[in-house]
């Protein structure tokens, strides 16, 4: 008998400017409260897999979510962080049906080949920065898009869901 093995869904949560920027000087280049609320709603209760630099950029541990931090430094540790030496080790440690890839650029690049969903916030502005989204790869289709106008000096943005069927690509 062939049994169905449930593979975890690996999905990215990312905010990207029109010029591809996702970060600047170790932090986020914009402050969009609605984006923070969406990220909270998308990630609550799910393990977050992130690079060491992204973990260190957070104002603190985000409640209700495990923080699995990828680093090459075998001695690195921090309160609230579970440490993994590779993406594979992080995914094994996560052991959940839905695993969030929380960034930054280095970890998005590692995880994109494994991802079947991207929850993107497109910031409709060119923004100065030093960290860029890596190429997403092939096969994505846009499943949902919700546009939001500029307000209070903040740029317009869109919440976008991209999906692809990884099995079809094998």
Ligand X SMILES: NC(=O)c1ccc[n+]([C@@H]2O[C@H](COP(=O)([O-])OP(=O)(O)OC[C@H]3O[C@@H](n4cnc5c(N)ncnc54)[C@H](OP(=O)(O)O)[C@@H]3O)[C@@H](O)[C@H]2O)c1
How far apart, in Å, are the Cα atoms of 108 and each of 33, 115, 134? 23, 9, 7
If one asks whether residue 131 binds ligand X (CB under 6 A), the answer comes out as yes
The whole-angstrom separation of Cα 155 and Cα 29 is 12
User: Which of these ranges, 1-9, 14-22, 41-49, 156-164, lies near ligand X under the rule CB under 6 A?
Assistant: 14-22
List 71, 111, 115, 164, residue binding ligand X (CB under 6 A):
71
Stretch that binds ligand X, among 41-49, 67-75, 141-149, 160-168 (CB under 6 A): 67-75
CA distance 164 to 91: 19
For position 73 contacting ligand X by CB under 6 A, the verdict is yes
Query: Contact, 120 vs 17, CB < 8 A?
Result: no
Of the candidate residues 91, 107, 111, 127, the single one contacting ligand X (CB under 6 A) = 107
Determine which residue in the list 48, 67, 103, 111 makes contact with ligand X, applying CB under 6 A. 103
Span between the terminal Cα atoms of the chain, in Å: 23
Q: Which of 26, 64, 135, 137 binds ligand X (CB under 6 A)?
A: 26
Phi (first) and psi of residue 153, to 5 degrees: 80, 0
Q: Smallest distance, Å, CB 21 to ligand X? A: 8
CA–CA distances in Å: residue 105 to residues 22, 51, 53, 95, 156: 8, 9, 10, 23, 23
Question: CA–CA separation, 110 vs 54, rounded Å?
Answer: 14
CB nearer to ligand X: give 73 or 151.
Answer: 73
If binding is defined by CB under 6 A, does position 15 make contact with ligand X? yes
Contact flag: residue 110 with ligand X (CB under 6 A): yes
Contact 147, 158 (CB under 8 A): yes
Candidates 40-48, 106-114, 135-143, 148-156 — which segment interacts with ligand X by CB under 6 A? Answer: 106-114
Residues that bind ligand X (CB under 6 A): 14-15, 22-23, 26-28, 50-54, 57, 70-73, 76, 85-86, 102-107, 110, 131
């Amino acid at each position: 008998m062939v049994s169905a093995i449930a593979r975890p869904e690996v999905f990215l949560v990312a905010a990207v400017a029109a010029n591809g920027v996702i970060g600047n000087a170790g932090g986020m280049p914009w402050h969009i409260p609605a984006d923070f609320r969406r990220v909270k709603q998308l990630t609550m209760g799910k393990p977050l897999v992130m690079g060491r630099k992204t973990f260190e950029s957070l104002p603190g541990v985000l409640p209700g979510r495990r923080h699995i931090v990828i680093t090459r430094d075998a001695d690195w540790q921090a309160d609230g962080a579970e440490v993994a030496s590779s993406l594979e080790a992080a995914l094994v440690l996560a052991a959940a049906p839905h695993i969030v890839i929380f960034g930054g650029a280095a970890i998005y690049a590692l995880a994109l080949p494994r991802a079947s969903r991207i929850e993107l916030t497109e910031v409709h502005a060119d923004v100065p920065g030093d960290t860029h989204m890596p190429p997403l790869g092939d096969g994505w289709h846009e499943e949902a898009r919700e546009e939001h106008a500029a307000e209070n000096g903040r740029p317009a943005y869109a919440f976008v869901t991209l999906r692809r069927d990884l099995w079809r690509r094998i």
